[in-house]
């Protein structure tokens, strides 16, 4: 019988990668759970987890963060993900382990120019300051964009990890060529 081996989502992709002023790196894998309150239970779930960020926002939590991920959907990340997910479930939310479902990247330097080639979002810090989150496409890939100090974090479905690195790398090369 074949044996399966766990492989990181960016294995063999030579990250971090720098082109011009832009640097692309993999985020460390972290526990991650989705929280989707049942109808009429959003307030109870918010109380149970210490508050749910408003749409388009992310908030730090001890040992991680909680972020808006779509209509009536939040992701809890970090060391406290399991505890917060359990509290949300007890308060009336559908909870799913998403730890292996998402792959995270961080892009710093030249972010606005690189992502202008890939996404229909204005990621300039004046329009998309740290703590903000948005769902959109990264070329053809569904993506959760998170503004952080010094850049943007990108969460893509794990099955698109290789494509995301390829697309971002190509855009980084294009921007680097214009910087010369």
Element holding 163 (H helix, E strand): helix 161-179
Domain membership of residue 3 (yes or no) is no
Percent of the chain's residues with pLDDT above 90? 92
Same domain flag for 83 and 167? no
Q: Are residues 62 and 76 in the same domain?
A: yes
**Residues 39 and 65 both lie in one domain:** yes
Same domain, 67 and 122: no
C-beta separation of 102 from 158 below 8 A? yes
Mean pLDDT of 67-91: 95
Residue among 41, 18, 147 at smallest CA distance from 90: 41
Q: Which residues form the domain of 62?
A: 32-97
Q: What is the pTM of this model?
A: 0.93
Q: Per-residue pLDDT for 155 more than 80?
A: yes
* Per-residue pLDDT at 3: 86
80 and 149 belong to one structural domain: no
Gap between the Cα atoms of 120 and 21, Å rounded: 21
Asked which of 97, 120, 140 is the last residue of a domain, the reply is 97
Q: What is the pLDDT of residues 14-70, one digit of tens each?
A: 999 999 999 999 999 999 999 999 999 999 999 999 999 999 999 998 888 999 999
* Closest CA relative to residue 122, chosen from 81, 84, 152, 98: 152
CATH number, domain at 72? Answer: 3.30.70.1520
Work out the average pLDDT over 96-103: 95
Band of the pLDDT at 5, cuts 50, 70, 90?
confident
How many whole angstroms separate alpha carbon 119 and alpha carbon 48? Answer: 35
Q: Tell whether 5 is covered by a domain.
A: no
- Count CB-CB contacts under 10 A for residue 85: 22
Domain count, the chain: 2
Residue 6's pLDDT is 82
137: how many CB neighbours lie within 10 A of its CB? 12
């Amino acid at each position: 019988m074949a044996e399966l081996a766990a492989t990181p989502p960016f294995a063999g992709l030579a990250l971090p990668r720098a082109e011009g002023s832009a640097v692309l790196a993999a985020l460390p894998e972290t526990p991650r759970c989705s929280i989707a309150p049942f109808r009429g239970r959003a307030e109870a779930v918010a109380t149970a987890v210490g508050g749910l960020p408003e749409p388009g926002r992310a908030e730090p939590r001890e040992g991680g963060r909680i972020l808006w991920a779509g209509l009536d959907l939040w992701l809890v990340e970090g060391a406290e993900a399991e505890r917060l997910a359990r509290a949300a479930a007890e308060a009336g939310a559908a909870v799913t382990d998403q730890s292996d479902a998402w792959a995270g990247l961080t892009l710093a330097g030249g972010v606005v120019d690189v992502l202008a080639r890939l996404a229909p979002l204005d990621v300039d810090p004046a329009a998309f300051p740290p703590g903000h989150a948005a769902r959109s496409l990264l070329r053809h890939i569904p993506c959760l964009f998170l503004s952080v100090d010094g850049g943007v974090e990108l969460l893509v479905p794990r099955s698109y990890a290789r494509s995301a690195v390829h697309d971002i790398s190509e855009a980084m090369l294009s921007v680097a060529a214009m910087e010369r």
